Amino acid sequence: MKDKDQLRIDRLREMLHLHNHRYYILDAPTISDFEFDQLLSELTQLESAYPAYFDPNSPTQRVGGGVTKNFETKKHRFPMYSLDNTYSKAELEEWEKKIHKIVGAEASLVYSCELKFDGASISLTYENGQFIQGVTRGDGTQGDDVTQNLKTIPTIPLQLQGTPPPFFEIRGEIVLPSKAFNRLNAAREAKGEPLYMNPRNTASGSLKLQDSHEVAKRGLSCFLYALAGDDLPLHSQFEALEKARSWGFKVPTTAQQAQNLQEVFAFLDYWDAKRTDLPYEIDGVVIKVDNLSLQEELGYTAKSPRWAIAYKFQAEQVETVLESVTYQVGRTGAITPVANLRPVLISGTTVKRASLHNADQIAKLGLRIGDTVGVEKGGEIIPKIVSVSEAHRGLEQQTVTFIENCPDCQAPLERSEGEAQHYCTNSTACPTQLIGKIQHFISRKAMDVEGIGSETVVQLFEAGLLRNIVDLYNLEPEAILQLDRMAEKSVQNIIDGVEASKVKPFSKVLFALGIRFVGETVAKTLAKHFRSIKNLKNASLEDLVAVDEIGDRIAQSVHSFLQNEIHWNQIFELQQLGLQWELAQEIDGGEMPLEGLKFVVSGVFETFDRSGLKTYIENKGGKIVSTVSKNTSYIVAGVGMGPSKKEKAAALGVPILDESALMELVEGSV
């Protein structure tokens, strides 16, 4: 039995959660601020007197106070994809045509239109109605755990209402309303401190403050807009928004269903005109296919969902002066021209540089040093020059001409027919390329070498300890210890991380080589088809093009790379050092028992998690698909498999396996 003090604590928490919801979510408070503060004060005193009754989601945790010195990296259970962007209604029409090609011309498409908030993306995890974790988007596969700071944001419910699923994630955007941003800057101005540049960056930076008490003062808000989970009982995106609202989330009321693209266009036009009336910043509209079954059928590219797209409003343009043009070298040798500008303020950010993309863009604009140019931010990280003022031109003798030699190593540049960019021809000795290749090799999506980051690569390169990826595996601890800011523990972390990377599978190693046009998906396809680096090297151009999804450009790039003697010698050395250059041998003398079979994985499993099960199937030769169709070979079903998948499987005659039946299939018993 609970004593009276514990019962009172429970009751106070219940009341305060309810009043928080009414105030911050419904904007309909039923008690005064004074009455709320009295209840909160009573709860604070009782919790202090009875620490055994501590609850991490108590309303008293809203005020913050916890200090986080290091934000732990956490993997997203469900990836947070980025969105493809468009600025054109014509491109939206093309997007719809692509959708119809996949789902059929007869498919009825309804859309969910939602404002695109300009803030920091976040993923929140709830279990049994309780908030348990919040992670930043990061690189889409993993981000920083900022749970303690998120608890201070009153529009993030710590305890849900109604009957939400037992476990799910919800995605949203942390925004800093205009009033809160102006208040913060007024306080900084009064203290003589530099002003924050814009609400978006301030919101993002606030999430990484070490003292959550300071985060609580910022006035951040959170809008939620996407549910993620295994077989959630939902049929449409719009239904998901309504459900989330009923569970206590702050879901924008501006979202609207559109029965066709004409209704989408009307929504775009309305908010393009009205966006300045909002109390927070938006930079566009997200359009999603509303039907979740169609979303599943459309699936994803390597980076983005095919069923959603972001329409960006026309960006703010300003004029400034072009002072010079410099050139950057990428890890593949691509040369990118960059305009250096007289500093100018665009959308709250001081801009000093703008991308010029390539030689064609420079020629199209007819740029001269000293030109007055129009610059816009658009959806790009680096702003771009979009126009030149004919009334304010630089001198003709200051016309910009594209360079002929690499700015780093002075090697001649080349531009292949049909390509927009120039490339440095010195791929094996250009310092910037070498550093970039090593940084790519150690990156998370490639070899994921723990203990070493991009800055450390530069430090090791400049010290002469790294010249190529082979050198990573020959690093001597004593030599690294001589460098600045290197202690024994950090050196050991580097050595351990490098050693651990030797077990990464062939597809990861192939991707890590940084072959032009070979991304993660292409690397997996090549590894699976050719099975070893030796087979891949011996493949002709015709052999490569014959592989599904490998075109002429990729084939030529792979063939040229592997026929290069320097590259091949490095691969041989890495092979001698223990890296994986062939697919792991499978049972029955290397046979792939699931070769040619397509699997849908659904539900929760005992032996594997979902990701591990998918990897197991792929390692045995199977292919993972997201939707059940007549081409699906099997469904591997765990606890909580969605009823819609069962119905579709039954209608199409697709067999359903549990984990043990899958193992029997691998062993040849089914």
Q: Which residues are catalytic?
A: 116
**SS3 string of 455-524?**
HHHHHHHHCCCCCCHHHHCCCCHHHHHCCCCCCHHHHHHHHHHHHHHHHCCHHHHHHHCCCCCCCHHHHH
- Closest C-alpha among 444, 445, 451 to residue 472: 451
Alpha carbon distance 121, 175 (integer Å): 9
Alpha-carbon gap, residue 117 to 130, rounded angstroms: 25
Q: What six digits make up the tokens of 483? A: 């460098």
Q: How far is CA 370 from CA 114, 340, 390, 396, in A?
A: 42, 11, 12, 10
- In sequence order, the 6+-apart residues with CB closer than 8 A to the CB of 553 are 517
Helices 199-206 and 178-190 cross at an angle (nearest 10°) of 80
The two counts, helices (H) then strands (E), for the chain are 26, 22
* Residue 361, φ and ψ in degrees, nearest 5: -65, -40
Contact 373, 340 (CB under 8 A): no
In whole angstroms, what is the distance from residue 652 CA to residue 242 CA? 32
For CA atoms 91, 92, 96, 99, the dihedral sign is positive
- Pull the structure tokens for residue 246: 């009923």
What are the CA-CA distances from residue 595 to residues 142, 430, 504, 527 (Å)? 31, 42, 22, 14
Strand partners, 622: none
Task: Please enumerate, as own/partner, the contacts of 522-525 that have beta carbons within 8 Å and a separation of 24 or more.
Answer: 522/549, 522/550, 522/554, 524/618, 525/549, 525/550
Contacts by 568-572, CB closer than 8 A, 24 or more apart? 568/537, 570/468, 570/469, 570/470, 571/513, 571/533
CB 14 within 8 A of CB 20: no
Phi-psi region of 243 (alpha: psi -120 to 50; beta: other; left: phi over 0): alpha
Residue 522 contacts by C-beta under 8 Å, 6 or more apart in sequence? 549, 550, 554
Distance (Å, whole) CA 417 – CA 406:
19
Largest CA distance in the chain: 89
Element holding 441 (H helix, E strand): helix 431-442
Q: Partners of 236 in the beta sheet? A: 291
Cα(369)–Cα(361) distance, rounded to whole angstroms? Answer: 15
| Residues 640, 637: Cα–Cα separation, whole Å | 8
